[in-house]
């Protein structure tokens, strides 16, 4: 089985690579179209700004979308989850990969600090493979100022931070999943989700 | 609900092969506390929310790399990791983040060149850049009317002066104003250490912690003085801190992180508990 972590020039990819290795699978970090094309499953990480990420991603969009239409599992993490949406309001309106219908919006002004940073608990809404064995109320680690606003049917888990926002989203077919939090930084719970993801690749 | 964070801090000195952890009493009289990687794993198992590594050899001795310690930790511990100590270039930050750290803390370099905070935040994102501020109470009000005067526990006034080199060098800078400045430059968090309290086990410095927590929009990590878990409760309630950092009470096994969380949870402070 071949898991490819897509490297589009931003962010720390080592943590997700090591977390996948730690659970006994292996991953390759690559930006090469043939390597991505030959993957059994893809991880789309992400730290930084939406527009920059999409710009760096431009040449890879086709091969990733083809993999998704072939039914291969894709996991988007943090900004990588936001990139799955149709569009984002961060730094002006910009188009996303449109794999899960929705719009990336900023947390509203309130007395709560933005970015939303730290451990917060999940409210699980849908029984999906990634969340197998994960208890309602499990804590995961978030760092973000924007979140994906989408229809209920695409929300597998939500989280409360002044507003109820999407913590885990999924597409209709179920092979595309996104986590707003960092599973690779969420201790045992996060590792369990990564094991579930690896299980989706079999 | 977003939880309050408990952060064990590992003061690492690299004078020995592989590095060892030490905790200083006011950063001077150093007591050894064990291997950093195994301590990091132990804290992770106990339910630590994050870990901080401070390279305490870095500022006043020859710069050495923490890269190996960071890599070995990040290969096995999957919670956020912050690294600080003598970081003064974006090149150094890049290496540390690549080794598996999630954040870096900057201190003296930011004071010498505030533009460094902005440059680093622009390049790596605000969430990566923690500004460490070491401060000390200054009761000399006369001639310092331009400073932010804060009422201490006993009702007397003081201002908090930024210090560097483990408290040995006062900078004449107002801590409150400096904190506001680094927030405006893009720092994502503040790690606030009171040198009046560091190593004393008398409890966190609540007046300055509360002042910054109320004034700033970025999270404040209270540091210096944790002697028992009641002090952590005070930091979150009276001090309104977002996170509490402690070293020796965890290193020497007086309390586990789990003990601290259980206590806080019973007292109604939102914390992440194990098993979820």
Please provide the average confidence, as pLDDT, over all residues in chain B: 89
Nearest C-alpha in A relative to B51: A185
Q: Which residues of B touch A138 (CB under 8 A)?
A: 276
Separation between Cα atoms, residue B251 and residue B268, nearest integer Å: 26
Could A141 and B80 be called an inter-chain contact, meaning their C-beta atoms sit closer than 8 Å? yes
CA distance B129 to chain A (A): 13
Which is it for the CA torsion B52, A76, A9, A114, positive or negative?
Answer: negative
Could A47 and B127 be called an inter-chain contact, meaning their C-beta atoms sit closer than 8 Å? yes
A62 touches chain B (CB under 8 A): no
The CATH classification number of B7-266 equals 3.20.20.70
- Structure confidence at residue B56 (pLDDT): 77
Could you read off the pLDDT of A87-135 as tens digits, one per residue?
Answer: 999 989 999 999 999 999 999 988 888 889 999 999 999 999 999 999 9
- Structure confidence at residue A93 (pLDDT): 95
Q: Please, what's the b/e burial string for A5-43 (b: 16 or more CB within 10 A of its CB; e: otherwise)?
A: bbbbebbbbbbbbbbbebeebebbebbeeebbeebebbb
Q: Which residues of A touch B217 (CB under 8 A)?
A: 113-114
Task: Please count the other Cβ atoms lying within 10 Å of the Cβ belonging to residue B115.
Answer: 10
Could A141 and B188 be called an inter-chain contact, meaning their C-beta atoms sit closer than 8 Å? no
Could B243 and A118 be called an inter-chain contact, meaning their C-beta atoms sit closer than 8 Å? yes
Are B69 and B53 spatial neighbours (Cβ–Cβ below 8 Å)? yes
- Is the per-residue pLDDT at B27 higher than 50? no
Which residue of A18, A47, A139 is in closest CB contact with B75?
Answer: A18
A26 touches chain B (CB under 8 A): no
- Structure confidence at residue B23 (pLDDT): 59
Task: Please count the other Cβ atoms lying within 10 Å of the Cβ belonging to residue A172.
Answer: 11
Could you read off the pLDDT of A7-60 as tens digits, one per residue?
Answer: 987 667 889 999 999 999 999 999 999 999 999 999 999 777 888 889 888 999
pLDDT-above-70 percentage for chain B: 89
Of B74, B76, B68, whose CA–CA distance to B45 is shortest? B76
Q: Which residues of B touch A117 (CB under 8 A)?
A: 127, 188-189, 219
Residue from B37, B47, B78 whose CB has the most chain A CBs within 10 Å, to mutate = B78
Element (H, E) at A33: helix A33-37
Are A45 and A57 spatial neighbours (Cβ–Cβ below 8 Å)? no
- Is the per-residue pLDDT at B118 higher than 70? yes
- What is the arithmetic mean of pLDDT over B197-205? 93
pLDDT-derived band at A192 (thresholds 50, 70, 90) equals very high
- Structure confidence at residue B16 (pLDDT): 64
Domain spans of chain B, in order of start: 7-266
Are A166 and A148 spatial neighbours (Cβ–Cβ below 8 Å)? yes
Could you read off the pLDDT of A167-190 as tens digits, one per residue?
Answer: 999 999 999 999 999 999 999 999
Residues whose CB is less than 8 angstroms from the CB of residue B260 and which lie 6 or more positions away in sequence, other chains included: B6, B229, B232
- What is the arithmetic mean of pLDDT over B160-175? 94
- Which positions of A are catalytic? 78, 182, 184
Of B58, B191, B182, B188, whose CA–CA distance to B113 is shortest? B182
- Structure confidence at residue B22 (pLDDT): 62
Task: Tokens 């699980």: give the residue.
Answer: A124
- Which positions of B are catalytic? 11, 134
- Is the per-residue pLDDT at B145 higher than 80? yes
Nearest C-alpha in A relative to B72: A18
- What is the arithmetic mean of pLDDT over B40-52? 94
Please provide the average confidence, as pLDDT, over all residues in chain A: 94
pLDDT-above-90 percentage for chain B: 70
pLDDT-derived band at B26 (thresholds 50, 70, 90) equals very low
Task: Please count the other Cβ atoms lying within 10 Å of the Cβ belonging to residue A133.
Answer: 10
Nearest C-alpha in B relative to A20: B75
- Is the per-residue pLDDT at B276 higher than 60? no
- Structure confidence at residue B62 (pLDDT): 42
Residues whose CB is less than 8 angstroms from the CB of residue A183 and which lie 6 or more positions away in sequence, other chains included: A19, A77, A140, A189, A190, A191, A193, A194
Q: Specify the pairing of strand B220-223 against strand B189-194.
A: parallel
* Secondary structure of chain B as H, E, C letters: CCCCEEEEEEEEECCCCCCEEEEEECCCEEEEEECHHHHHHHHHHHCCCCEEEEECCCCCCCCCCCHHHHHHHHCCCCCCEEEECCCCCHHHHHHHHHCCCCEEEECHHHHHCCHHHHHHHHHHCHHHEEEEEEEEEECCCCCCCCCCCEECCCCCEEEEEEEECCCCEEEEEEHHHHHHHHHHCCCCEEEEEECCCCCCCCCCCHHHHHHHHHHCCCCEEEECCCCCHHHHHHHHHCCCCCEEEECHHHHCCCCCHHHHHHHHHHCCCCCCCCCC
CA distance B272 to chain A (A): 6
Q: Report chain B residues touching chain A, CB-CB < 8 A.
A: 1-3, 5, 44, 49, 74-76, 78-80, 97-100, 102, 125-127, 188-189, 217-219, 242-243, 272-273, 276
- Structure confidence at residue B272 (pLDDT): 96
- Structure confidence at residue B18 (pLDDT): 61
Separation between Cα atoms, residue B142 and residue B158, nearest integer Å: 10
Could A15 and B100 be called an inter-chain contact, meaning their C-beta atoms sit closer than 8 Å? yes
CA distance A139 to chain B (A): 6
Residues whose CB is less than 8 angstroms from the CB of residue B38 and which lie 6 or more positions away in sequence, other chains included: none
- What is the arithmetic mean of pLDDT over B197-207? 94
Nearest C-alpha in A relative to B7: A118
Instruction: Name the residue range of residue A181's domain.
Output: 3-200
Which residue of A47, A138, A185 is in closest CB contact with B78?
Answer: A185
Separation between Cα atoms, residue B198 and residue B132, nearest integer Å: 14
Separation between Cα atoms, residue B229 and residue B263, nearest integer Å: 7
pLDDT-derived band at A80 (thresholds 50, 70, 90) equals very high
- Structure confidence at residue A56 (pLDDT): 86
Q: What is the number of structural domains in chain A? A: 1
- Structure confidence at residue B28 (pLDDT): 44
What are the tokens at B232? 């952590």
- Is the per-residue pLDDT at B19 higher than 80? no
Separation between Cα atoms, residue A56 and residue A84, nearest integer Å: 15
Would you call B170 exposed, middle or buried from its count of C-beta atoms within 10 A (0-12, 13-18, 19+)? middle
């Amino acid at each position: 089985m071949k898991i490819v972590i897509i490297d589009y020039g931003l962010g720390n990819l080592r943590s997700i690579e090591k977390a996948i290795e730690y659970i006994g699978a292996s991953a390759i970090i690559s930006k090469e179209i043939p390597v991505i094309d030959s993957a059994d499953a893809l991880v789309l990480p992400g730290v930084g700004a939406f527009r920059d990420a999409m710009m760096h991603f431009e040449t890879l969009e086709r091969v990733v979308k083809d993999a998704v239409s072939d039914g291969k599992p894709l996991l988007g993490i943090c900004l990588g989850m936001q990139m799955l949406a149709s569009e984002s309001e961060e730094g002006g309106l910009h188009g996303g990969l449109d794999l899960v219908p929705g719009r990336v919006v900023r947390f509203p002004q309130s007395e709560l600090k933005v970015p939303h940073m730290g451990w917060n608990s999940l409210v699980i809404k849908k029984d999906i493979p990634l969340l197998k064995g994960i208890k309602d109320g499990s804590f995961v680690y978030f760092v973000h100022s924007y979140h994906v606003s989408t229809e209920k049917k695409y929300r597998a888990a939500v989280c409360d931070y002044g507003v109820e926002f999407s913590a885990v989203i999924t597409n209709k077919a179920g092979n595309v999943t996104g986590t707003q939090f960092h599973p690779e930084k969420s201790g045992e719970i996060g590792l369990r989700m990564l094991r579930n993801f690896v299980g989706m690749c079999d | 609900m977003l939880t309050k964070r408990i952060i064990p801090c590992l003061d690492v000195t690299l004078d020995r092969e592989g590095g060892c952890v030490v905790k200083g009493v006011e950063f001077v009289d150093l007591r050894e506390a064990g291997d950093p990687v195994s301590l990091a794993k132990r804290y992770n198992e106990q339910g630590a929310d994050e870990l901080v590594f401070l390279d305490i050899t870095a500022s006043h001795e020859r710069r050495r790399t923490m890269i190996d310690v960071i890599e070995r930790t990040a290969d096995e511990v999957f919670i956020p990791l912050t690294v600080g100590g003598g970081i003064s270039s974006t090149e150094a930050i890049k290496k540390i983040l690549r080794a598996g750290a999630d954040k870096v803390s900057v201190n003296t370099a930011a004071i010498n060149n505030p533009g460094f905070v902005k440059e680093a935040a622009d390049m790596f994102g605000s969430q990566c850049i923690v500004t460490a501020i070491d401060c000390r109470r200054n009761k000399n009000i006369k001639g310092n009317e331009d400073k932010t005067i804060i009422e201490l526990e006993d009702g007397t006034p003081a201002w908090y002066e930024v210090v560097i080199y483990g408290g040995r060098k006062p900078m004449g800078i107002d801590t409150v104003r400096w904190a506001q400045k680094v927030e405006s430059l893009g720092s994502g968090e503040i790690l606030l250490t009171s040198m009046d309290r560091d190593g004393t086990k008398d409890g966190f410095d609540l007046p300055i912690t509360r002042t910054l927590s109320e004034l700033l929009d970025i999270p404040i990590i209270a540091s210096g003085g944790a002697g028992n878990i009641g002090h952590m409760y005070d930091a979150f309630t009276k001090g309104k801190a977002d996170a509490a950092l402690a070293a020796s009470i965890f290193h020497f096994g007086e309390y586990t992180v789990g003990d601290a969380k259980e206590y806080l949870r019973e007292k109604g402070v939102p914390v992440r508990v194990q098993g979820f």
